[in-house]
């Protein structure tokens, strides 16, 4: 089994050429049936890992999802990250900033949604938009956005230092695949409402977006907060790679349930063994007064 964490990670300091990455890559000989079984197994691990993270309540996990429109950010939320208990997980979708958000520095609104101890936070789009859409459309001068790579690295380093493990996924689809997905949206009455001409118009900036992504991936993939380029033309492979990488990361965190804060034997003796009126009754077997149906 390929280690996608190694295979798809952007090595710090390396050059990123998205032209050399095949967005249609789908593993080496993995079938969709294999993938479905593996994703299901990974999801059970993710569920367990998140429980321990929550129980431990000392560290946290931040998952950043980026990608062009229709690249599958929502799909990853629905199919992979759904494994996490909603209690203890927050998903923040960062859209066009509000006036209040624009009145602050670009990290302000994302900082507010960073995960607390024991929590998982998912950013569906993120502070990276401030070096992507903002750069492509010249929403601030180059002098301003070009400083942001280092500001982002500082910010992420600081989160890391306070116990947050960060993973960043770029869901990479081809321009043709995007058009196919727009077409599917057009042919599905339940998704017609999502269609906007703006999405089509953005396609004329495709190459500029790719260039902006390349620079962001290159300058902001660090040992503490790595970027992964996920070939995402095939949804099943995207889910497989993301879930495998997440599992490996959680495993490396070596999460453990904390020790109980009470003397279990004492609790057992004091509250459960006494046949007092305080509910200390014997456990009644199913079918004997405590039927399961």
Residue 286 contacts its own copies per CB under 8 A: no
Site track 115-144 with its own copies (rule: CB under 8 A), x = hit? -------x-x--------------------
Rule CB under 8 A: is residue 100 a binding residue for its own copies? no
Output the smallest distance, CB 207 to its own copies, in A: 12
Q: Judged by CB under 8 A, how many residues of this single chain contact its own copies?
A: 60
User: What dihedral do alpha carbons 212, 235, 9, 163 form, nearest 10°?
Assistant: 90
List the one residue from 66, 71, 89, 126 that touches its own copies (CB under 8 A): 89
Closest CA to 86 of 49, 47, 124, 58: 47
Q: Which range, of 3-11, 25-33, 94-102, 243-251, touches its own copies by CB under 8 A?
A: 25-33
87 phi-psi bin (left φ>0, alpha ψ -120 to 50, beta other): beta
Helix residue ranges per DSSP H, 14-145: 32-56, 73-79, 99-102, 108-111, 133-136, 142-145
Question: Which runs of E-coded beta strand occur in 132-279?
Answer: 164-172, 227-231
Nearest to 255 by CA among 58, 41, 43, 87: 58
Give the dihedral sign, CA 25/69/140/161: negative
DSSP state for residue 9 in the 8-state scheme: B
Q: Which stretch binds its own copies (CB under 8 A): 11-19, 140-148, 196-204, 243-251?
A: 196-204
Among 38, 39, 62, 81, binds its own copies (CB under 8 A): 81
Residues at the interface with its own copies (CB under 8 A): 26, 30-32, 51, 55, 74, 77-78, 81-82, 84-87, 89-91, 93, 122, 124, 175-176, 178-180, 182-183, 186, 189-190, 192-197, 200, 203, 234, 236, 257-262, 264, 267-268, 270-272, 278-281, 283, 292-293
């Amino acid at each position: 089994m390929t280690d996608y964490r190694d295979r798809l990670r952007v090595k710090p300091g390396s050059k990123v050429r998205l032209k050399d990455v095949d967005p249609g890559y789908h593993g080496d000989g993995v079938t969709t049936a294999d993938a479905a079984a593996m994703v299901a197994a990974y999801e059970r691990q993710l569920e367990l890992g998140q429980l321990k993270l929550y129980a431990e309540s000392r560290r946290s996990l931040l998952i950043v999802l980026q990608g062009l429109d229709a690249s599958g950010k929502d799909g990853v939320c629905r199919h992979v990250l759904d494994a996490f208990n909603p209690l203890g997980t927050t998903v923040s979708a960062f859209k066009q900033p509000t006036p209040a958000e624009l009145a602050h520095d670009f990290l302000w609104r994302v900082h507010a949604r960073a995960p607390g101890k024991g929590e998982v936070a998912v950013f569906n789009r993120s502070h990276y938009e401030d070096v992507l859409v903002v750069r492509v459309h010249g929403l601030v001068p180059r002098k301003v956005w070009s400083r942001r790579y280092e500001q982002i690295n500082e910010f992420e380093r600081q989160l890391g230092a306070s116990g947050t493990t960060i993973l960043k996924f770029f869901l990479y689809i081809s321009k043709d695949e995007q058009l196919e997905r727009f077409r599917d949206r057009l042919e599905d009455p339940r998704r017609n409402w999502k269609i906007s001409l703006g999405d089509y118009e953005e396609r004329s900036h495709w190459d500029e977006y790719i260039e902006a992504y390349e620079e962001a991936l290159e300058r902001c993939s660090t040992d503490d907060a790595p970027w992964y380029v996920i070939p995402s033309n095939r949804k099943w492979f995207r889910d497989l790679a993301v879930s495998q990488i997440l599992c490996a990361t959680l495993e490396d965190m070596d999460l453990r349930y904390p020790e109980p804060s009470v003397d279990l034997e004492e609790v057992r003796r004091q509250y459960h063994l006494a046949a007092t009126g305080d509910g200390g009754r014997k456990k009644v077997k199913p079918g004997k007064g405590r039927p399961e149906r």
